[in-house]
Structure 1
Amino acid sequence: MYADFSATDITCSGMIELLKTVEVGQQKNINVSTNLTPLVYIIPYIKYQLLDYPHDINLDEDTVTLDRLVFLYEIETLCIKMSVNNKKWDEREFGNFCKGLSILTVLNYLDLSHSNIGHIGVKHLSEAMVKMTQLRGIDLSHNDIGEPGAQILGKGFENMTMLEYLKLDHNNIGNAGAHMLSTGIAKMKQLWSLSLSHNNIGDFGAECLGHGLKTATRVEHIDISHNSIGNIGVECIMEGAENMKWLSHLDLCHYNIKDVDSHNLQTVMEKMTTLRVLDLSHNEIGDLYAECLSSGFQFMGQLSDLNLGHNIIGDIGGESISEGVETLALLGNLNLSFNRIGHVGAERLIKALKKMNWLRHMDLSHNNIGDMKAESLLQGVEELTWLQYLNLSHNKIGDEGICFLCHGIQKLTLLRHFDLSNNKIGDVGAESLSKKMENLSKLRHLDLSHNVICNIGLKSETKGVVSLRKLRHLDLSYNEISDSGVETLSAWIEKLVHLRYINIGHNKIGDFGSKIVGGVIQNLTRLRHLDLSYNNISDVGVDSISKGMELLSQLKYVDLSYNRIGDNGAETLSKLIENAHQIRVRELRSREDTFDISPVVKAKVMQLEYLDLSYNCITDHGVVSLSRIVGTLKLSLFVDLNHNNVHNMPDYIGARQERDMAGAAAHPTYVEYWQRSMSKHIGEVKSDQSSVPSYESDFSAGSESSDAIDSDQRSGESSGYDSSGSSVCSAEW
C-alpha cells in the first residue's frame, strides 16, 4: 500500500499521531513533499524502538512516543521533495535524516529530486547508502550537486551493484563529475535506466561514461540529452552500448553533433539491433552525417521512433535517410521537420513512404515541399493507411499542391491531427479540401491558419466537413475571411457539435460576420476557447456574440482583443456574465431545494476564466460596468484591459480594491484584474501572458470521461495547440 502525507504542512508531533492510526506492517510506501521535519526526526527514533526501548526518547528537545512506528522500518518506497517549500536543507537536519535512512535496509526506491541538497547533502547521503543494500532506484535530479557531488556519488555507487534505475538530470555535474560517476556505473551490473540530461557534459565526460557503460549489459534506456557532447562523444556512448542486449531507447538530442563524415558510426550502429527509439534532433546533422546514419539503419530492424528534426539535412542527406528508413518495417514515428530537404530528397522520400505501412506519425513541417513536391507526395501518402498525425506546415504548398494531396488524404481514414498552417492555400485549395474530407471521420485537430483563404473557398459543399463530427480543434486564423465568407463558414461549424477550440482571429469578419458567428456558436455547448481578435468588431458585433455565448457553460477563454469595442460592448459583456450567473443559480436551486445551495453555486457558476479586451476603445465608464459584476459576484475571472482609454479609478472601485487586496490569496485573479485594468496605456507595451490560464489538457482526447468518442483510443491524442491563444502584434487602432 501507499501512504501519502504530501498534502499538508504537518508538524513532528502531528506526523506521529497520524502514523499511530495506521496498522502496523500495512504501509510499505510513504511520500512526503512539504514539511520534512517530522520524517527527519522520526526515522532516527525507529532505531531505538527496534532495540525495545519502552519509554519516550528525547532527541534535541523533542520528545515523542514510538509505540506503533515500527512499520516504518519496512518502508520500500520513500519519496521526498522540497520543491514545494522552495528552500534548501539544513545541513544538520539532513545529516540526521541520512542517519535514519541508513537503517531502512529494505528500501527499494529513493526519490529526493528537487530537494536542493547540494554537494554537502550528497556527502551525508553517500554515507547512508552504504548500508542500503536493497536499493534499486535513485532519483536525485534537480539538486545542483555539481562536480563535487558527482565525485562523491561515484565513490558511493561503487558498492551499489544492485541499482537498476539512476536519474541525475539537471545537476551540472560536468566532465569531471561524469568521469567519477562512470567508475560507479561500471559496477552496476543490474542497471537498466540511466538519465543524465542537462548536465553540461562534454566529449571527455561522454568518453568516460562510454567506458563505464560497457559492463552494464542490461541497460534498456539511456538519456544523456541536452549536453555539450559532440561527434566523438556520441561514438563513445554508442561504443559503450554495443554490449547492451536490451537497449531500446537512446536520446542524443540537443548535442553538438556536426556534419562530418564518420566511418566508425556504422560500425557501432551495427550492434544496436534492439533499439526502438532514437532521438538525434536539435543538432547540426547535415548530408555527410545523414549518409553515415542511413547505412546503420539497415541493422536496426526494431526501430519504431526516429527523430531527426531541427537539423540541416538537405537534398543529398534526405535521399540517404530515405534509403535507410525504407528498411525499417516497424517504423511508426518519423520526424524530419526543420530541415532543408529539397526536390531530390522529397522524391526519394516518397518512394520510401510506400514501404512504411505501419507509419502513424509523420512530421515534415518547415521544409520546402511546395506544389510540385506535393503532387509527388500524393503517391506516398495514399499508402499510409495507418497514419494518425500529419504535419505539413511551413512548406509553401499552394492550391495546386493541396488539390493533389487531397486525393491521397481522403484514404487516411484514421487521421486525427492534420496541420496545413503557414502555407499558400487559397480558395481553390480550401474548396478541394472540404470536399475530400468526407472519410476523415476520426479527425480531431485541423489547422488551416496563416493561409490566404478568402470567401470562395468556403462556398463549397459541406458534405465532407459535416462528416468531421469528432473535430475538437479548428484554427482558421490569419486568413482573409470577410463577412460573406463567415456566412458559409457557419455551415462548417454548426454541425461540429464537439468543437472545443475555435480560432478565427486575424480575419475581416466585422459586425455582420459576428452576428452569424453568434448564431452558430450557441449550439456548440462544449466550446471552451473562442478567439475573435483582430476582426474589426464593434459594440454591435459584441451584442450578437454575447447572445451566442449565453448558454456556453464550459466556455473559459474569450479573446476579443484588437477590435473596436467600446463602453457599450463592455456593458453588454457585463450583463452576459451576470445573466449566466443567475441562470446557473436558478438551475441549481430548481434541482436542489432541500439544502443550502450557496456553496454549490460558488463552485458551479460562470465558467469563464479569461476575457481579453485589450487594445479596444473602452473608457472608465466601461470599467465600472465590468467591475460591478465581477466584484459583486466574486468571480475568479481575469479581464485584460491593457491599451484602452482607462485613466481614472472611481471611488467605489478604490474602496473595494483595498478590501480585496487583503484577500489576494483567496481571489488573486480579481486583484490582478484591478491592477491591470487601471494601468496607464501610453505607447505600445508587450502584453503579459503570464497569468493566462492553460487549457491544453482540456483539449486532449482523454480530458473528459463523459465524452463517448473513441474511448478506446483517447490516451494517444493531444490537441497540440498553444493555449494562450493570443499574440503580440504591432498594430494599433
Structure 2
Amino acid sequence: MHPTAVLLRRLPPLLPLPSLPLPPALPALRPLPSLQVPWPLPSLLLLLPLLLGVPGSSAYGFRNCIQSPLDPGLFRCIQRFLQSVTDALADLPAATSALNLSHNALHHLPSAAFARLPLLQTLDLAHNRLATMAPGAFAGLGALGALDLSHNRLDALTEGAFTGLGNLSWLRLDHNPLASVASGALLPLANLSRLSLRGGRLVALGPVAVAIQHLPRLQLLDLCGNKVSALGPSPPLPPSLLALRLCNNSLAALAGGTPGLLPTLRVLDLSYNNISDVAPLAQLRLCNLSRLQLAGNPLDVLQLLEVPDLRPRSLDFSGLRLEPGMLEEVCRRLKGPRLRYLRLRHNGMQALQDGALATCPPVATLDLSGNRLRQLGCMGRLLRQEQLGELGELVVEHNLLRWLPSCQQTPALHRLHNVSLRFNRILVVGPEAFAHMPHLRLLRLDVNGLARLDQRALGGLRELRELRLDNNLLTDLYTGSFSDLGRLLTLNLRNNRISVLFPGAFTGLASLQTLDLGGNNLRHLAAAALRELGDLRRLYLDRNRLQEVSAEVFRPMQASLGVLDLRANALRYISRRPRQRPPFRHLHRLYDLKLQAQQPYGLRIIPHHFFQGLTALRSLFLGQNGLLAIPADAFDDLAQLQFLTLADSGGGMGNLPAGIFKNLSRLRSLDLENVGLRSLGPHVLGNLSRLEQLKLAKNELSTLDRRLDEMLPALRYLDLRKCPLSCSCTNAWLPGWLNHSRVQVVYLYNYSCGGASTGEGPPTYLHSFDTRVCFLDVGLYLFAATTPAVLLLLVLPLLHHRAYWRLRYHFYLLRAWANGRWQREERRYAYDTFVSYNSADEGWVLGELVPELERDSLRLCLHHRDFSPGRAIIDNIVDSIYNSRKTVCVVSRSYLRSEWCSMEIQLASYRLFDELRDVLVLVFLEAIPDAELSAYHRMRRVLLKRTYLRWPPEPQAQRLFWAKLKAALRAPGQEEEEGKEGVGEGRQ
C-alpha cells in the first residue's frame, strides 16, 4: 500500500459537508488539524499535501469537476449544466487556486458563494446565465487576481457585489446587457488594473467615471461596443489610467467633454463613433496622448492636425480616408526626429508614387495594411536617402498586391528586419525582389495566391531567420531557390500544392531547424529529398498523401531531428511483416512522433519492430487509426516513452496483447479512450510503475482487475467515463478502493451500474452499491443443496441393480389403476385427421393423399382450406390439432427444415404425451438417414415409440400403403404401451 494511504488511515476522520441530492457523495476534503505526533521528517513530507487540503493521498473524485493532472489546484467544471454554484463547489478542496465554471447555466450568485475556497486566484464564470449577484457574493476571496464574468446577463452592478476582492487586478464584464453601475460597486477593488465593460448598454461615461475614480491602480478601461453618447458631466478619470477605449459607441459630437477629464491618459480609442467635428477635441487636453485612434469617423485630417493640444505624432491615421495628395501634407505636419510608428491602415490608398513618403520623418515601423494597393514597387524609391537607414519594419497586409518586382538596383534598407505582405494576391515574386533588404530577419508572404517563386526571388537574404510561404499555390520548389538562406531557421510551406520534392530543393539551408510541409500533396519522399537538412529539428509532414516512409529519407537528420509529424497521411500496412526495414531506425534523438488519423481508414496494422531505433522517444500519438492488431513487441524499443495515446482506435481491436507495455517503465500518461477494450488485466498493465494518468473512457469494460492498485502504484488520474461498469461481486472491491485511493477518478459519483440508468427507479451508483451480499457464507448453502443430490446419485444405481423389475411392475400397476379411474370419455371431433405438410410436398398431398382419404369419407383438415382467416397462425394450428382425432405428418427434408412444420409436430407430440393416446402418424416421403434426424430430437423420440409409414416408390406396394394408413387413422386411440409395434414397416 502507498505510504500516504497508510498515513491517511491513522488520521482523524474528515469533516463532512452539507448533504447533496442523489447520488450521495463521499465526505469532501477539508484541511486537517495539526497533529502533535513526533513523526520523522519523511513522514511529514508525505503528509504535507494532505495538510494543505489538496486531494493527493486520500480518496477523492468530484461530481462535476475535473482536477488538472499537472496542476492539483486547477479545476475545470465546463459544460456540466450547473444551475447552482453549490453543485460545483461542494466537494472541491479548500486549496483550489483556479476554477473554470464557464459554459454552464448559473443564474445567481448567493452571498459568500465561494467562501470555502480562500486560496482561489483565478475564477472563470463566462458564458453562463448570471443575472444577479448578491452582496458579498465573492466574500472570502482575498487572493483572487482575475475574474471573468463575460457573456452573462448582468444588467446592473450593485454595491457590495465585489466585496472582499481587494487583490483583484483583472475584471472582465464584457458582453453583458450592462446599463448601470452603482457609484460604490467597484470601490472594494483597490488593486484593479484592467477593467473591460465592452459590449454593454452603458449610455454615458459619467457614472462609470464615478465608479472608478477611487481605483488607484486602474490602467485600462474598455468601453467599446456600448451606447455611450456623452463624456460628461463626469469627474476626472483616475490619474493611473493609461488607456481608454471608447470605440463603436455613439459619441458623434463628444458632448459634455470637460477639461481635465483625461489627465494622464496615453492611449485613447474613439474609433467608429461618427465624430465629424474636431472642435470638442480641443477641450479634452490631449497633449499627453501617445496614441489617438479615430478610425471610421468622417473627420477632415488637416483640420484635425490644427487642434491645439493634439500632437500630430500621437495620431493614428488609420481609417481616416486620406485623399490623394493629402499624404504629403500629413508627412510635413509630422516633422521632427525619428517617428516610431506611422500607421496608415484602412485609408483606401490605391497607389504610392515614387517619393510618396519622402516628406515624412524617418519611420521605424510603417503600416500600410487594409488599403487597396495593387503594386508597391521598391521601398527605396518611396523614401529619401536619410529615411532608408531608419525603417525597421514594413507591414503591407490585406491589400491587392499582385506581383513583386525586382529591386536589385534600388537603394538598400539596411535596418529593415521585418516585412509582412500576407493577405494579398501576389502571384509572382520576381528575381532579387528583396535584394534591397539585405538584413531582413522575418519575411511573411503567407495567405497569397503565390503560384511561382522565381529561382532567384529570395537572393541576397543571407540574414533571414524565418520565411512564411504557407497558404499559397506553390506546386514546385526549384533547385537553388533557397541557396542564399544560409541562416534560415524556420521555413513554412504549409497548405500549398507541392507534390514532389526534387533533390536539391533545400540546398543552402544548412542551419534550418523547422520545416513545415503539412497540407500539401506529397505522395512519396525520395531518399535524397531532405539530404541538405542536417541540422533539422522539427519536421511537419502532416495532411499529405504519403503512403510509406523510408528510413533513408531521415538519415541526414538522424543526429538532430526531435519532432516528426506524419498525422493524417495515407500510411498503411497489410502485414505485420513489412517489406522494408523499420522507417525510424536512424532517428535516435526523436522525442515527439505523431502518427494519428491516417487516411482513409487508419493505420490498421502495426508491423513488428515498427518503432525500432526510437530510443529517445517521449511522446507517441497513434489515435484515430482504427487499429485491428498491435503486436506484443510493438513498443519494446521505446524505453524512454512518457506519453502514449491510442484514443479513438476502436477498429475491432478488442483487447491488448499481453506484455505490450512491458518495457514502458517510464510511461506517465496512457490514453486508451474509445479503443474497444473489453478487459484490462495485469498481463497488459504490468511494469507501468510510473504511470500517473490512465484514460479508459468509452470502452466496454464491465469489470476492473482488483490488482489495479498494486500494478499502478504511481497512478493519480483515472478516467472511466461511459464504461458499463457493473455493480456485481466481481467489482465488489471497487467501492472500497475508490473510498481509500490516492487516485482521482473523473466524475466518480456519476458512474451508475451498467454505465447508465435504466429509467426504472433511482439508479444505483458504483461508489455506493451494497457489497454485503458478495460476502455471505455461501459454503453452507452450497453444502445443503448438493448433499441430497450426491446421496441420490449414490442410491439410484443400487436401487436399479436390486429392484429394477419390481419397481417397474408396480409402476405399471399404478398407471393402469389411474387410467381406469380417470378414464377419458370419447369426445366428438370436427375432423378425422389434421394433415401437416410442407408447401414443397403440396403436389403429393393434394394429388395423392387427399383424394385417396376423402374417397373413404375421412374428414381432413388442411391449412389452406380450413384455417379461420384473420386468426393468428399459431391459434389455427393448435385448434386444428386438438379438433382432429389424429394428426398425419408428411415428413421430408423440406419438412424438417421448416419452422412452422417443426412447431406443428411439436404441438402434436405435446398432445400425445398429454393424452397418452396414439394420435400421431408419420408418413415419410423419402428415406432420411438417422444422422439427419438426430438434430430433431423430438422427432427422433416420436419415431422410437409411435406409428410411422414410408411411401413406397413401387406402384404395386402403394395399395398396401393406403390400406395401412387408413387402418391407422380409423383405429381408436389406445393408451401408450412401451415396446408396442407400430403399424406399417416396423421401426427404423
Asked whether the two chains share a fold, i.e. TM above 0.5, the reply is yes
Please tell me whether residue 113 in structure 1 is matched to residue 196 in structure 2.
yes
Distance 1:126 1:671, change over 3 A: same
- Following superposition, the deviation at residue 333 of structure 1 comes to 1.7
Equivalence for 1:361: 466
Task: Give yes or no for contact 1:95–1:124 (8 Å, CA) kept in 2.
Answer: yes
What SS does the aligned partner of 1:583 have? Answer: coil
Distance 1:124 1:395, change over 3 A: same
Task: Give yes or no for contact 2:461–2:485 (8 Å, CA) kept in 1.
Answer: yes
What does 1:218-617 align with in structure 2 at a 5 Å threshold?
219=314, 229=319, 239=330, 242=334, 247-248=339-340, 261-263=350-352, 267=356, 271=360, 273-276=362-365, 278=367, 280=369, 288-291=374-377, 296=382, 301-308=389-396, 313-315=401-403, 325-343=434-452, 346-347=453-454, 351=456, 353-371=458-476, 374-375=477-478, 378-379=480-481, 381-399=482-500, 401-409=501-509, 411=510, 413=511, 415-427=512-524, 429-438=525-534, 440=535, 443-455=536-548, 458-460=550-552, 462-469=554-561, 471-475=562-566, 477-480=568-571, 482=573, 484=578, 487-493=581-587, 495-497=588-590, 499-506=591-598, 510=603, 513-517=606-610, 523-524=615-616, 526-527=618-619, 530-534=621-625, 537-538=627-628, 540-541=629-630, 543-545=632-634, 552=641, 554-555=642-643, 557-561=645-649, 563-567=651-655, 570-571=676-677, 574-575=680-681, 579=685, 583-584=689-690, 605-608=691-694
Higher mean alpha-carbon deviation, 116-125 vs 179-188, is at 179-188
Task: Give yes or no for contact 2:547–2:570 (8 Å, CA) kept in 1.
Answer: yes
Out of 186, 202, 215, the position equivalent to 2:310 is 215
Aligned mates of 2:569, 2:745 — CA distance in 1: 35
Task: Give yes or no for contact 2:680–2:704 (8 Å, CA) kept in 1.
Answer: yes
Please tell me whether residue 139 in structure 1 is matched to residue 229 in structure 2.
no
Task: Give yes or no for contact 2:520–2:543 (8 Å, CA) kept in 1.
Answer: yes
Distance 1:231 1:421, change over 3 A: farther
Unmatched tracts of structure 1, length 5 or more = 19-29, 42-59, 65-71, 585-604, 661-665, 681-733
Task: Give yes or no for contact 1:462–1:491 (8 Å, CA) kept in 2.
Answer: no
Task: Give yes or no for contact 1:531–1:558 (8 Å, CA) kept in 2.
Answer: yes
Task: Give yes or no for contact 1:574–1:629 (8 Å, CA) kept in 2.
Answer: no
What SS does the aligned partner of 1:81 have? Answer: strand
Distance 1:357 1:547, change over 3 A: closer
Q: Which amino acid aligns with 2:220?
A: D
TM-score normalised over the length of structure 1: 0.56
Distance 1:437 1:530, change over 3 A: same
What SS does the aligned partner of 2:594 have? Answer: strand
Aligned mates of 1:578, 1:208 — CA distance in 2: 78
Distance 1:97 1:546, change over 3 A: same
Deviations along 1:40-85, whole A, 9 cap, x unmatched? 99xxxxxxxxxxxxxxxxxx999x9xxxxxxx9xxxx98341459x
- Following superposition, the deviation at residue 492 of structure 1 comes to 4.2
Deviations along 1:344-377, whole A, 9 cap, x unmatched? xx32xx5452233332221112223322xx216x
- Following superposition, the deviation at residue 419 of structure 1 comes to 0.8
RMSD: 6.3
Distance 1:370 1:164, change over 3 A: same
- Following superposition, the deviation at residue 434 of structure 1 comes to 3.9
- Following superposition, the deviation at residue 461 of structure 1 comes to 6.7
- Following superposition, the deviation at residue 550 of structure 1 comes to 8.3
Deviations along 1:124-180, whole A, 9 cap, x unmatched? 333577899x98x73123764344374799666852565354376xxx963337989
Distance 1:353 1:322, change over 3 A: same
- How many residues are aligned here? 546
Unmatched tracts of structure 2, length 5 or more = 1-95, 100-108, 126-132, 140-158, 231-245, 405-425, 657-674, 739-743, 759-988
What does 1:630-645 align with in structure 2 at a 5 Å threshold?
636-637=717-718
Distance 1:542 1:640, change over 3 A: farther
- Following superposition, the deviation at residue 204 of structure 1 comes to 3.1
Distance 1:398 1:152, change over 3 A: closer
Higher mean alpha-carbon deviation, 230-239 vs 566-575, is at 230-239
- Following superposition, the deviation at residue 506 of structure 1 comes to 0.7
Percent of residue pairs identical? 13
Equivalence for 2:298: 204
Higher mean alpha-carbon deviation, 482-491 vs 290-299, is at 290-299
Q: Which amino acid aligns with 1:516?
A: H
Q: Which amino acid aligns with 1:444?
A: R
Deviations along 1:554-573, whole A, 9 cap, x unmatched? 41654443644335565488
Distance 1:204 1:31, change over 3 A: farther
Please tell me whether residue 159 in structure 1 is matched to residue 260 in structure 2.
yes
Aligned mates of 2:308, 2:607 — CA distance in 1: 63
Aligned mates of 1:277, 1:195 — CA distance in 2: 16
Task: Give yes or no for contact 1:126–1:152 (8 Å, CA) kept in 2.
Answer: no
Deviations along 1:240-280, whole A, 9 cap, x unmatched? 89458555456788x6x77x733589735862632336473
Task: Give yes or no for contact 1:517–1:545 (8 Å, CA) kept in 2.
Answer: yes
- Following superposition, the deviation at residue 489 of structure 1 comes to 1.6
- Following superposition, the deviation at residue 464 of structure 1 comes to 0.9
Distance 1:407 1:7, change over 3 A: closer
Aligned mates of 2:281, 2:683 — CA distance in 1: 65
Task: Give yes or no for contact 1:391–1:418 (8 Å, CA) kept in 2.
Answer: yes
Task: Give yes or no for contact 1:393–1:422 (8 Å, CA) kept in 2.
Answer: yes
Task: Give yes or no for contact 2:198–2:225 (8 Å, CA) kept in 1.
Answer: no
Task: Give yes or no for contact 2:541–2:566 (8 Å, CA) kept in 1.
Answer: yes
Deviations along 1:373-431, whole A, 9 cap, x unmatched? x216x24x2212232221122333333x542312233x3x1x2321112334343x442
Out of 166, 169, 179, the position equivalent to 1:79 is 169
Distance 1:318 1:461, change over 3 A: closer
TM-score normalised over the length of structure 2: 0.43
Please tell me whether residue 187 in structure 1 is matched to residue 301 in structure 2.
no
Aligned mates of 1:549, 1:678 — CA distance in 2: 38
Task: Give yes or no for contact 1:518–1:549 (8 Å, CA) kept in 2.
Answer: yes
Task: Give yes or no for contact 2:471–2:496 (8 Å, CA) kept in 1.
Answer: yes
Please identify the structure whose Cα radius of gyration is greater.
2
Task: Give yes or no for contact 1:397–1:423 (8 Å, CA) kept in 2.
Answer: yes
Aligned mates of 1:36, 1:310 — CA distance in 2: 48
Equivalence for 2:851: none
Aligned mates of 1:577, 1:309 — CA distance in 2: 59
Distance 1:578 1:304, change over 3 A: farther
Distance 1:265 1:515, change over 3 A: farther
Deviations along 1:1-47, whole A, 9 cap, x unmatched? xxxx99799999x99xx9xxxxxxxxxxx999999978999xxxxxx
Q: Which amino acid aligns with 2:478?
A: E
Equivalence for 1:692: none
Aligned mates of 2:135, 2:335 — CA distance in 1: 45
Aligned mates of 2:747, 2:456 — CA distance in 1: 55
Task: Give yes or no for contact 1:162–1:189 (8 Å, CA) kept in 2.
Answer: no
Deviations along 1:676-705, whole A, 9 cap, x unmatched? 98799xxxxxxxxxxxxxxxxxxxxxxxxx
Distance 1:261 1:248, change over 3 A: same
Task: Give yes or no for contact 2:443–2:468 (8 Å, CA) kept in 1.
Answer: yes
Q: Which amino acid aligns with 1:403?
A: P
Q: Which amino acid aligns with 2:490?
A: Y
